[in-house]
Amino acid sequence: MGESLSKAIIFDFDGTLVDSEITIYKCFQTITNYLAPERIDYAKNILIGPPLRDTASEILGPNHQGQLNKFVKLFIEMHDEHAIKNTQPYLGVIDTLKILGSKGISMAVATNKRYVPTIKLINHYNWQDYFISIECSDDKNSIRNKDEMIRDILSKNEQFKNCYFVGDTVNDGLNANINQLKFIRAHYGYGRNQNWSMIKIEQSIEIFSDLAKIIN
């Protein structure tokens, strides 16, 4: 018999717990219009989810890489100021986190979002007591990818071994698969138009509250 699943979940953040699409796209488009206006269509259609520097580089394109550091700096300033405005939990998140917490299910976050806006939002919604670990891309004095964040959670918290990972992008699924976690795709998130053919998906959820039916 295989190992049983632990009663634990690691969550992605943007596109899984919160919808920050309006805020992020507004920042991308405002900065692109200032630094490289001919690239505005890329800013309007870029996938939300990858690390900021990678996304900024893709938006700017090969002819504007000299503006990369400035783009990142401006995004951080603008996004941190408006992190809460126009960012909302997805339908069912608030009640479902409460239900999962009441069942004693251990929960953690692994996100490419930076630490400051992540913690600002978690504190704003009073979610800080739900999560045993909150791993962000920039909170170890260097930029980490999601695989490293997941491995940090697993190494520090035995109860997350063989747990679920809930995310909305192919990158989330890939890193869950690499770490032998059971991947639940948040179908409502930002990865709607990605190619999922190479990702092993345990289950998909159309709304966040479906989790309470899967994990009990």
pLDDT of the residue at 2: 44
Token digits for 159?
């109860």
CB 53 within 8 A of CB 144: no
Just give the CATH number of 8-20+88-214: 3.40.50.1000
In the predicted model, what is the mean pLDDT of residues 67-79? 95
pLDDT of the residue at 6: 66
- Beta strand 18-19 with 88-89 is antiparallel
pLDDT band for 1, please (50, 70, 90 cuts): very low
pLDDT band for 83, please (50, 70, 90 cuts): confident
CB under 8 Å to 115, separation ≥6 — which residues?
Answer: 136, 138, 139
In the predicted model, what is the mean pLDDT of residues 3-9? 71
Q: Which of 1-15, 40-54, 55-69 is the least confident region?
A: 1-15
Cα(41)–Cα(5) distance, integer angstroms:
43
pLDDT digits (tens, 9 = 90+) for 20-59: 999 999 999 999 999 999 999 999 999 898 889 999 999 9
**Is residue 122's pLDDT more than 60?**
yes
- Domains of the chain, by residue range, sit at 8-20+88-214, 21-81
Q: For the stretch 125-161, what's the b/e string if a residue is b when 16 or more beta carbons lie within 10 angstroms of its beta carbon? A: bebeebbbbbbbbbbeeeebebeebbbbbbeebeebe
**Is residue 90's pLDDT more than 50?**
yes
More confident residue, 119 or 82: 119
Cβ-based neighbour number of residue 123 at 10 Å = 11
pLDDT digits (tens, 9 = 90+) for 145-203: 999 999 999 999 999 988 999 999 999 999 999 999 999 999 999 999 999 999 999 99
Instruction: Report the percent of the chain where pLDDT is more than 90.
Output: 84
pLDDT of the residue at 140: 65
Cα(67)–Cα(56) distance, integer angstroms:
9
